[in-house]
């Protein structure tokens, strides 16, 4: 008789033991496109519930009420600053970057229309400013350049319109006391407060991305049928969950995040904003990513990332490849590996985005 597995819940083995026992009723076990679609139709509402999105929506509809805060000519593009109301009484600040007038390589079927790239940022007190290529001092400039963190600028120079929002708990969306003491974020406090009401910070950030898509539909220069979401680290988190929940997102490119929950946020100390109560009991990260199929998915990872270990990235990607194969589109699932650590790798991103947008693979409403 085989020996029983060690089920001791000592602190060092806690996550591994419970993960090995988890029934994961929402793991993907489908083997056909129809089966994948049926699984997605069941799991996506459950994921939205776990994220607290249903509770956010229950506060009722609200108008976007966009407010323009300024425009800057940046040489090769225009940077506009805006806010919108994403839920009653809460406004999201963002930059909208657009190429100078004239059709370009990224122009859409309607004259002057271009695909949209939404770029949620990761941890950092500068928020959207970093992704828009702005820095306050030499240290920030060096970190931006070394980590290729000006993601929205990269997108606009590819010929796309880019929206770079402030993510909740950062920059101007920190608590007042955290702004006054210049803390990096308010993640812990705002996550704990959200949990009191059955919400999560991840869910609130996903909601804000969806509302930005609503706003994008009002802009005549944006082709709202071709939407990409990409961000690094915490921005990769938002990118993955937003694309899993919102079918209007056509291409998902999470960077320095895609892995397994067990080997990443379940293995070391992470920011509280990463945690979704009950999720690992129901599914792994590759199942969440599987909700994006058949829409194109590109995971970007650093081979030497200490936070999201590369062997677990490979494990997760192998599972996700199986879901995409079952969905009938294995070519829409890719992994780009950078030979460094926890950062963005632009060289692996834009060729795939350009190809998929050119194929028209990112049409609105793709997927189950």
Please tell me the distance from the alpha carbon of residue 121 to that of residue 9, in angstroms, as a whole number.
36
Per DSSP, which regions of the chain are E strands?
Answer: 67-73, 77-87, 90-99, 114-118, 161-165, 222-232, 251-255, 297-302, 333-338
What six digits make up the tokens of 283? 């599914």
Q: Would you state the pLDDT for residue 363?
A: 40
3-state SS class at 267: coil
Q: What is the pLDDT of residues 3-45, one digit of tens each?
A: 445 778 899 999 999 999 999 999 999 999 999 999 999 999 9
DSSP 149: -
Closest CA to 66 of 212, 267, 184, 227: 212
DSSP 274: G
3-state SS class at 333: strand
Please tell me the distance from the alpha carbon of residue 61 to that of residue 103, in angstroms, as a whole number.
36
Say if CB 298 and CB 232 are below 8 A apart.
no
HSE (CB half, 13 Å, CA atoms) of 319? 20
In the sheet that holds 333-338, the strands lie side by side as 67-73, 77-87, 90-99, 161-165, 114-118, 222-232, 251-255, 297-302, 333-338
3-state SS class at 1: coil
Interacting residues of 20 by C-beta distance below 8 A, sequence separation 6+: 5
Interacting residues of 127 by C-beta distance below 8 A, sequence separation 6+: 121, 166, 167, 170, 171, 172, 173
Residues paired with 95 in a beta bridge: 81, 164
Q: At what angle do helices 187-196 and 201-216 cross, to 10 degrees?
A: 90
Interacting residues of 241 by C-beta distance below 8 A, sequence separation 6+: 47, 51, 202, 203, 205, 206, 288
Domains in the chain: ranges and CATH: 29-359 (3.40.50.1820)
What six digits make up the tokens of 251? 């291409």
Q: DSSP readout, 100-146?
A: PSS--TT--SSTT-EEEEE----S-TTTHHHHTT--SSHHHHHHHHH
Report the Cα–Cα distance between both ends of the chain, in Å, rounded.
44
Please tell me the distance from the alpha carbon of residue 32 to that of residue 325, in angstroms, as a whole number.
8
Q: How many CB atoms lie within 10 A of CB 146?
A: 10
What six digits make up the tokens of 298? 């590109």
What six digits make up the tokens of 184? 């990096």
Please tell me the distance from the alpha carbon of residue 52 to that of residue 287, in angstroms, as a whole number.
18
Q: Would you state the pLDDT for residue 111?
A: 55
Q: For the chain (length 368 residues), average pLDDT per consecutive 10?
A: 64 94 97 98 98 97 97 97 98 97 50 91 95 93 94 98 98 96 97 98 98 97 97 98 98 98 95 97 98 98 97 98 98 98 97 91 40
- Please tell me the pTM assigned to this model: 0.94
Please tell me the distance from the alpha carbon of residue 168 to that of residue 319, in angstroms, as a whole number.
31
Q: Would you state the pLDDT for residue 106?
A: 44
């Amino acid at each position: 008789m085989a020996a029983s597995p060690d089920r001791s819940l000592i602190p060092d083995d806690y996550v591994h033991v419970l993960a090995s026992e988890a029934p994961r009723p929402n793991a993907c076990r489908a083997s056909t496109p129809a089966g994948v679609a049926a699984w997605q139709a069941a799991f996506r509402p459950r994921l939205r519930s776990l994220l607290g999105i249903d509770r956010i929506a229950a506060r009722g509809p609200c108008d976007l009420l966009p407010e323009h805060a300024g425009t800057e000519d940046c040489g090769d593009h225009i940077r506009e600053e805006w806010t919108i109301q994403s839920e009653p009484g809460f406004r999201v600040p963002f930059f909208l970057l657009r190429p100078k007038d004239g059709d370009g390589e990224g122009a859409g079927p309607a004259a002057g229309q271009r695909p949209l790239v939404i770029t949620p940022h990761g941890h950092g007190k500068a928020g959207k400013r970093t992704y828009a290529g702005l820095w306050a001092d030499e240290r920030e400039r060096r970190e931006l350049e070394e980590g290729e963190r000006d993601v929205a600028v990269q997108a606009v120079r590819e010929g796309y319109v880019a929206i770079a929002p402030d993510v909740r708990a950062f920059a101007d969306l920190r608590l007042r006391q955290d702004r006054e003491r210049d803390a990096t974020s308010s993640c812990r406090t705002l996550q704990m407060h959200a949990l009191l009401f059955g919400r999560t910070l991840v869910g609130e950030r996903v909601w804000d991305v969806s509302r930005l898509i609503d706003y994008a539909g009002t802009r005549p220069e944006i082709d709202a049928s071709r939407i990409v979401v990409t961000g690094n680290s915490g921005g990769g988190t938002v990118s993955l969950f937003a694309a899993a929940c919102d079918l209007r997102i056509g291409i998902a490119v999470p960077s320095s995040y895609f892995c397994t929950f067990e080997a990443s946020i379940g293995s070391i100390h992470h920011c509280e904003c990463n945690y979704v109560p009950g999720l690992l009991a129901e599914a792994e990260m590759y199942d969440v990513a599987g909700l994006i199929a058949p829409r194109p998915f590109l995971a970007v990872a650093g081979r030497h990332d200490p936070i999201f270990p590369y062997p677990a990235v490979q494990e997760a990607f192998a599972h996700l490849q199986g879901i995409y194969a079952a969905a009938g589109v294995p070519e829409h699932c890719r992994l780009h590996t950078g030979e460094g650590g926890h950062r963005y790798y632009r060289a692996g991103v834009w060729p795939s985005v350009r190809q998929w947008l050119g194929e028209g693979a990112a049409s609105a409403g793709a997927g189950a």
